Structure 1
Amino acid sequence: MMKRITTFPVHPEIRELLSFATSKDRIDLEYEKYIRSPERGLYGLELKGEIVGCIGIEFMSSHCCEIKHIAVSPIVRGNNIGSEMIKFVCNKHSLSSIKAETDNEAVKFYEKNGFNITSLGEKYPGIERFFCEYTIQNPLGTRGG
């Protein structure tokens, strides 16, 4: 079950998940942005009473958003939870486009989910970054891909 996260303090399971997607010293700052900014939303996926995935988005327009953070607990990775969270966000907000920037470690995940991938080159010394974009063909129906 997916639910929007809207309360302080940061739930320990959300804190752990965000630590996979951002540096530990930025978790509180990023979490606060999700709670306070109307352009942002943070969703958690709960299985058997535990939050095992989270996806944080920022709206660029009413039908386009950027994935700022996405993380799945290591014990349930490989079960399409990340893909399901993306589908949920796309359907919930009737998106026509969803974007992300990622590193070499996660680019295959986006590729597998039908995102078009463009290398941004070495944005940071020794680290290649990628721009990922998915255009939803039928924003009011289910997302393909």
Structure 2
Amino acid sequence: MLLNIKSYIRKPEVAELFSYAVFPDDQSVEKTVSEYESNEAWQLYGYEDGELLVGLAGYEKTGNEVILHHIAVIPENRGLGYGRGMILEIMTKEKPERVIAETDEEAVDFYRNLGFVVNSLGELYPGVERYRCVYEVEEEDEN
């Protein structure tokens, strides 16, 4: 179950999860945290397994789309369905027509396996190819 964690965004375990979704230095994590704090439209949810925060998903809903800004799962819990579960819960909550994410090559297979259509955006940063991942929600997917 997703829990709104925006109110405790400054906790170390949230910063650790952000470090898996952005360049893992203090400056990048701080910039990301500040973006969530200053933008009311950006939602931040975490997934707890018992007392352990195992993942987070940050997004905004614009019209009929959910733009997934960040998703991360602690390394020892990857491959257990937490990322997929967070995206499905967001889709159930927000009922979008489409979900959009931008990612690097490391996460492309994760999105493809969920049914996202993946297209290269080219090298947006020196030496780093980025990808746009789009999932078109069908009516039966929402139920």
* TM-score normalized by the length of structure 1: 0.89
Matched, 1:102 2:93: no
Decide whether aligned partners of structure 1 residues 28 and 137 sit closer, same or farther in structure 2, where only a CA change above 3 A counts. Answer: same
User: 1:97·1:136 contact (CA, 8 Å) conserved in 2?
Assistant: yes
2:51 paired residue number = 49
Deviation at 1:139, TM superposition (A): 7.4
**Residues 76-131 of structure 1: per-residue CA shift (max 9 Å, x gap):** 11101100000011111111111011111111100001000111112222211111
Runs of 4+ in 1 over 3 A off after TM superposition: none
32-41 or 19-28, which deviates more: 32-41
2:67 paired residue number = 66
Q: Give RMSD over aligned pairs.
A: 1.7
Count residues with an aligned counterpart. Answer: 141
* TM-score normalized by the length of structure 2: 0.90
User: 2:103·2:132 contact (CA, 8 Å) conserved in 1?
Assistant: yes
Amino acid of the residue matched to residue 66 of structure 1? I
1:81 paired residue number = 82
Amino acid of the residue matched to residue 54 of structure 2? V
Query: Which of these residues, 37, 40, 46, is aligned with residue 38 of structure 1?
Result: 40
2:130 paired residue number = 129
Considering fraction of residues, name the structure with more helix. Answer: 2
Deviation at 1:54, TM superposition (A): 0.3
CA distance in structure 2 between the aligned counterparts of 1:129 and 1:66, rounded to whole angstroms: 15
Mind listing any 5+ residue stretches in structure 1 that lack a counterpart? none
User: 1:70·1:82 contact (CA, 8 Å) conserved in 2?
Assistant: yes
CA distance in structure 1 between the aligned counterparts of 2:5 and 2:34, rounded to whole angstroms: 11
Mind listing any 5+ residue stretches in structure 2 that lack a counterpart? none
